[in-house]
Amino acid sequence: MSEVLPQPATSVSAWGLAPAVLAVVTAGLLLGLVFAAVDRAIVTGRGFRAGGEPLRSSARLLLEQPRTTLAPDRLLWRVGGATVLVTAVLAVAVVPLGERTLWSTSADLVWFNAMEALLWAAVWLVGWGPNSLHALVGGYRFLAQGLAYELPLMFSLIGVGVAAGSLRTTDVVAAQSGLWFVVTMPVAFVVFVASASAFAFWGPFAAPAGADIAGGVTSELSGVDRLLVSAGRAVFLGVTAAMSVALFLGGQSGPWLPGFGWYALKTVAVIVALVWCGRRLPVLRPDRTVEVAWTVLVPVTLLQTLVVSVLVLSGFYA
């Protein structure tokens, strides 16, 4: 870490470790709260009045006594639930909030993707743990869905990395000073945001927690365990919205307002658009989405990456 180039300013180096970690955890929870509030407002059709519901149900779940099932795999069940929230918050570490990330690795995009990939294990364990049919079916549905979204998601991230010439999120934001990446890679942007709803099994991709299997992976969760999983899902969705702003919408760039204001504004706009579109659709059955992912999305995102590569070679992003 002793480059000649100016070291990317991380919030750890600027504020010290503890305040920076606290700030990032708060930011993550806040993002999750905003997402959950917008989601409740649109699902219930009650608008702003439903905005406080996520806080209320969090308090309720904290007061609730946990229950268990017959012969559960208690350790793995608990670990799975906690992992959902922990990985979601860890993903915030590489989001350039306020123009700096919590820590900066040379592979921020890989870190983000790794946190999301850990969900495969976490959600499956939440389904496996209670020794219950509906939860297990939900867990397997999540794995099937993962087969659908994972490759298109990776290809859309690769496009961003190739265009920026770096996997560091602060570099990606800097590379968009001329033109936002969403202009040259709209497909990658849409796939990235859609994948977020798939790995948080929300909206049209909520089959792993579907009502037809009584809530699926969430069917046996109560108390704190349920809170950890639902908060983790909301934080992941909020974080992905914030990440999509950094990767495709130019981060904090914009006139008049301070950078942070623009960043927050764009993030909220992405969240509202995502919830509004996602809640207009019914759940897509995983067997159909896998088909589309492999026959349509994988070729299309590959093509997108090819276009980006050709643009890079022609010096378009320089």
Partner 1 sequence: MDVRRALRNWAYAHPRVLLIDAPGHRDLRWVVESAVEDRAWEFAASPAGTDILIVLGQPSAELADAIEVIWSQVPEPRHRVAISTAATISVELDAALAALAIGLVLGAESPRPPDAEQALAAAKPAETQPSADMGDMGDMGDEDPGHDMGGHGTHHGGNDVGDMGDMGDEDPGHDMGGHGMHHGGAVAGLPMAQTAPDRDGLQLDSLTIALGPVLPGWPTGLVLRAQLQGDVLTDLQLSWMTGDNPRGNSSEPAVDQQAAALDDLARFLVVAGWPTAARDARRAREQLSSSDLDVRARGQVAARRVGRQVGRSRVLAWSIRGIGRDQEAAPAGHPQQHPGPVDVLSRLRRLCEHAAQPSNRPPVTPDSLEDLTSALNGQELAAARLIMAAAALHSADTPAEQAATGV
Task: Note the residues at the interface with partner 1 (CB under 8 A).
Answer: 42-46, 49-50, 53, 56-57, 59-60, 63-72, 130-134, 137, 140, 204, 206-207, 210-215, 218-223, 226, 279-285, 288
Q: Show the tokens assigned to 24.
A: 């990032």
Of 159 and 210, which CB lies nearer to partner 1 in the complex structure?
Answer: 210
Q: Do 162 and 308 form a contact (C-beta atoms < 8 A)?
A: yes
DSSP 8: P
Angstrom distance (rounded) from CA 147 to CA 175 = 31
In the complex, least distance from residue 224 CB atom to partner 1, rounded to whole angstroms: 11
Give me the least distance between CB of 156 and partner 1, in Å please: 22
Nearer to partner 1, 135 or 160 (CB): 135
Q: What is the sign of the dihedral through the CA atoms of 292, 296, 302 and 308?
A: negative
Q: How far is the CB of 195 from partner 1 (least distance, A)?
A: 18
Nearest-approach distance from CB 273 to partner 1, in angstroms: 16
170: number of Cβ within 10 Å: 21
Handedness of CA 123, 125, 130, 132 (dihedral sign): positive
Least Å distance between CB 248 and partner 1? 24
With a CB cutoff of 8 Å and minimum separation 6, the contacts of 34 are: 238, 268, 271
Q: Which two tokens stand for residue 107?
A: 């592979």
**Directed axis angle between helix 186-199 and helix 259-278, to 10°?**
70
Torsion of CA 64, 200, 262, 55, to 10 degrees: -10
Q: Which is nearer to partner 1, 161 or 215 (CB)?
A: 215
Interatomic CA distance for residues 200 and 220, integer angstroms? 18
Q: Which amino acid is at 5?
A: L
Nearer to partner 1, 56 or 260 (CB): 56
* Shortest distance (Å) from residue 259 CB to partner 1: 35
| Closer residue to partner 1, CB minimum distance, 19 or 47 | 47
107 or 284: CB nearest partner 1:
284
Residue 138 near residue 217 (C-beta atoms within 8 A): yes
Query: At closest approach, how far in Å is the CB of 68 from partner 1?
Result: 5
- Rounded distance between C-alpha atoms, residue 63 and residue 94, angstroms: 33
- Judged by beta carbon, residue 79 or residue 214, the one nearer partner 1 is 214
